[in-house]
Structures are given as C-alpha cells and as structure tokens.
Chains A and B, each alone.
Chain A
C-alpha cells in the first residue's frame, strides 16, 4: 500500500508546474480585465498562429485577458466542443470560435447561448440550416469570402494559361465550408473557359503530407495535368514536392490558398505560381474587437469581410 504512489499525481504536478510558468499570475490589485476566449481549429497551422498573433495584439491594446485554446487535431470536433464547454465553465465573457465542423459546432454554440456568452464566428461559417434548426444565436462573423477567393484563383489561371489547361484539384475536408466554397468559386470561374478542364479532384484533408501523396498519385493517373489548384497552401506545398519528385517543376502551374510564409517563399522561388492571400491576423484583431464590443453591450457588424488578395511573383517581394 505504501508504495502505491498515486500515479497521475506526479505527472500532473509536473504539467501544472509547466503551466504555471507559461502564464503570469494575475495581479489581484488590478481591476478585472474582460476575459475573451479564442478557440482555434488547431495551433499547428501558420494560418491560425497568425490569427492568434493578431488577436493577441488587439487584446493587449484593448486591455483584454485573452485565452487561446485549440484541439490537437484540426478535425477533432468533439475535442473542440469539450474546450468550449470548459471555457464556458471558466466564465469567459465572450467566445471567438473558428469551427472545426460547420455543423458539429452548433451544439457547443447552443451551450454558450444558454450560458449567455456572446459568440463571434471566425473564418469558417456555421452551417445555416443546422444553425436555424437548432435556433442558435450568433453575434458576429469575421472572415474572408472564400467563394470569391476561389473565383479569383480560377480567373487568374484562365488568364495565365490563355484558357487552356488540364487541372488537378486538391480539396479540403468535405463538409468544411471554407474548402467547399473555394472549390465552388473556382469551378464557377473556369466554367466560362471551355479549354480549362478539371481532370481530377480529391481531398488531401488540409494536410501537407497528404498533399504530397495525393498529388503524386494524381500525376500517376493523369500525367497530362499541367495546373493545380489546392484549397490550402499546406496541400499545395506538399504537392510542390511531389511535382519536384516527378521532375516536373516549372511544368505545372500551382495556385494555393492562404499565402502563408512558406508559400510566399515558394512563390518567390517560382515553384508556386500564386496564392490567394487571406489576412488571418486581421481576422484575429477584428474578432477580439467584436468581442469587446459585445461585452460592453454594443452591437458589432453582423458580417465583417476581411479583404482577399492574389499574391504572385510580382507582388510577393513586399513580404
């Protein structure tokens, strides 16, 4: 019995000690700052790290205590729900959420509604039908127009290829509003160019390594592919490696989405042709500003569109 050391205790202590180091203790004499939580899809994607930075800057400027949490895996909708439930317990005054699943996030928002915590949705929209059916209330949306971004990418491809291309597509996870809208925008753009044919379209689940393998397989099946539109840069960057492995660098025009740092470097190097830039740090900033307005009882804009921009070799140098 004596040697029955409580197993988890030691480890938990170690973890909590680590945790203690990472967060400064609140100063009890200072007036209570408004507490805002930002729940991201994941923190291992530069897009969301930029969003966190923007949010943190706004929080510091506005004197907000910002808590940022994310599940380990982008697709883990239940873990995201658990995080939201737990944050509700800590009495945060506003929640900013990038939904891991457009429908699956709805029950979690219903819980926030019940706890009277305002919710700002960032980047990925909530499924309208599911939201209406559940009768949830959303207090704001901040994000870019993914459909428009896909369309811009498609139009650019038509322009640079002179309207003749055999296109492979790398999709996001099916059922994610962001990927679905980008794809729809792209399809609608190339519909008008009969010479542009989509010969293959598969998901690489937003992942860089899957972008590599899926596109490698696509090239095996369709060696005629001379253009690629990937619904995210991570997948595009994976595909770039597959193109290099096939010895086709420069022969396949790659357009990505998000314009993350690695993609900008690839654009400068010429391995990626262009990427649709979103401004995640601006999304983070606007989301925190909205949250603060909501805490003060003001009404933010119901829809805040964040600009999009096509980054090409000609425009990338500024970064």
Chain B
C-alpha cells in the first residue's frame, strides 16, 4: 500500500469513528435515555449478532467476493443447533453441530466458487435459497424452542457486568483481527482481493485460501446463530431474513471496498455499531419504522459516497 493510500485508509477509519461519536453526541442531546450505562450495554448486545456476521463478511469482501447466504446459514445452523440441544446433547456438542453446519455451507460456497468457477454472487445466492429451504424442511416450518438455562446463559449471562453476547463478539473480533493482520492467511486474503491473478502467479494456493474465506464466513454466521438462538430461546427456520444486507452494510460503512483488496475489521465493527446506535436512537426518539429504513439507507449511501470522494484525489 502506498503511503498516500495508507493515509487515505486511516483517514477513512478515523472518519467513520468520528461519525459514530458525533452520532452518539447528537443522540445524547436529543434523548435523555441514550447516554446511560444500561442503554449503551443494550446497544452493544443488540449489535453483537450483526457484528459477528459482518466479521466473516469482511474477509469475504476483502477477498473480492460477496456472501448472500449468511442469513440463511444463520437459520439452518440455528435449527440444527436447537434440535441437537433438544436431543438432548450437551451445549458444547450442540454448538459444535451448529458450527459444523455453518462451516459445511461455507465449504460448499467456496468450492462452487473456486472449483466450479461460479461468481460468488451466484453461488451464495443459490446457497441462500438451499440453506433456507433445508431449514424449513428440517423443521417443517416450525420454530424449535425452549433450552436449558446453561445454554441460555450465553444470552442472559453477564461477566464483569458485560452481557455474554458482547464478550463473545469482542472475542470474535480480537481473533479475526489477529487472523487478518498477523498471519500469512490474512495477507493472502488482501492479496487475492487486490489482484487474484498476480497472487496466483506468485505461487499462492489461491483456491484453497479463497475457499477457507467462505468457510470462515459460514462459521461466523453459525456463531451468530448460537447468539440469536440463546437470545430468543428459540431457533426459527425463517430467522435471519435480510441479515446479509445488514452485514454487508456494516462492512461497507466501515470502509471495506466492495472491489476487494482493502478494508479492516475495526472499520466493520464501527460500521455495525453505527447501525446499532442509529436503530436504537431512532427507537428511543419514537421514530416510525418507515423513516428508520430511509435513514439507514441514507447512511449507507453517504458512507460509500464519502469513500469514493476520498479515493478520487489519489488516482
């Protein structure tokens, strides 16, 4: 990365963070209920699920791909996890079942893209439908509900005053950040997104690493399913509809380019928080859900507009 591009990237990240802080400041003025410890924890808890999915999505988008199947994978791995819990399997085993289901969906995505040479949009669009249908067939359309308290503590538990889902999401981000910034795999993800052909010619096993990116995204979707299932005490085959758009939005607001090759997990986390804070604030202010959709759409558009304005002088 040239130093100018590095600066622009840093500037973008700081800009996003500034956006979040200003949004917070504005909401603190407009609503007396916003800036309280319990509400801020509330926002973090509500953001955790989207943030975890968006972490995997960030890898996919940096690699130059897209994953439209995350919401359906949330539903599919969620109902498998829930049925395993009711089998009854011990919670760690049941969670392993759910994660394996997510990883398997991701593996199929990855193989279709790298071996079958399908565009990621098409492969994951297919998976979106297949995984959703599989979840519906498996449950006959009905939710699978009611779990033991141990599993539910993943949603209700608190450690050092922090809600368990928030800690889980934080852990995901620390690990994912290390993976992306400190390992060879992470560097390859950037390289593949920047110039896939050059990366292949320099001897990198592109197909393997690309496949692993989708496996990773499947796993984070399944992790989100664990959090969602514990939170609602129920796994629904119709859960996670349109979650892919929220995850893509968080990633893009966070400054990851849809063209691939650049982006960061820190940015995505801030992007997810902006969406969470915005939804929370609009609820606190009693804004109608119709207007909320307009606002969220505007935020996505403005974020990407700013992105392209930032990049233009560097060209």
Residue positions of A touching B, CB distance < 8 A: 1, 3-16, 18-19, 22-23, 43, 67-73, 75-78, 81-83, 85-87, 89-91, 101, 103-104, 106-107, 127, 129-130, 133-134, 173-175, 203, 205
Contacts and interface: CB of A to CB of B under 8 A. Distances in A.
Interface size class of B (residues with CB under 8 A): 35 or more
A18 B294 contact: yes
Nearest to A7: B303
Contacts of B143: 101, 103-104, 175
B241 interface: yes
Contacts of A43: 288-290
A1 B231 CA distance: 40
B22 A89 contact: no
B241 A15 contact: no
B203 to A, nearest CB: 37
Given A8-B23, A13-B26, A70 B238 contact: no
The 7 A-B pairs of least Cβ separation, nearest first, read: A15-B295, A4-B15, A6-B19, A11-B298, A86-B283, A7-B303, A174-B141
A72 B289 contact: yes
B257 to A, nearest CB: 14
Interface stretch (B28-36, B56-64, B183-191): B28-36
B278 A72 contact: no
A173 B42 CA distance: 29
Contact of B283 (A15, A78, A87): A87
Interface in B23-57: 23, 26, 30-31, 33, 36, 38-39, 42, 45-46, 49
Given A69-B288, A86-B284, 16 more contacts: A4-B306, A7-B299, A8-B23, A8-B274, A8-B299, A15-B294, A15-B298, A16-B285, A23-B285, A71-B289, A77-B239, A78-B232, A85-B45, A89-B39, A104-B143, A127-B145
A85 B301 CA distance: 28
B298 to A, nearest CB: 4
A211 B299 CA distance: 34
Interface string B1-24: 000000100011011101110110
A8 B238 contact: no
A104 B12 contact: no
A90 B284 contact: yes
Nearest to B280: A86
Contact of B282 (A15, A76, A81, A89): A15
The listed residue with most B CB atoms (<10 A of its CB), out of A7, A75, A103, is A7
Nearest to A77: B232
Contact of A78 (B39, B49, B253, B274): B49
A83 B294 contact: no
A11 B295 contact: yes
Given A19-B291, A75-B238, A6 B232 contact: no
12 contacts: A4-B15, A7-B16, A10-B302, A15-B291, A23-B287, A69-B288, A69-B289, A71-B289, A72-B292, A77-B236, A89-B36, A104-B143
B148 to A, nearest CB: 10
Given A22-B287, A43-B290, A8 B302 contact: yes
Given A104-B234, A130-B233, A82 B306 contact: no
B4 to A, nearest CB: 12
A173 B233 contact: no
B266 interface: no
A22 B238 contact: no
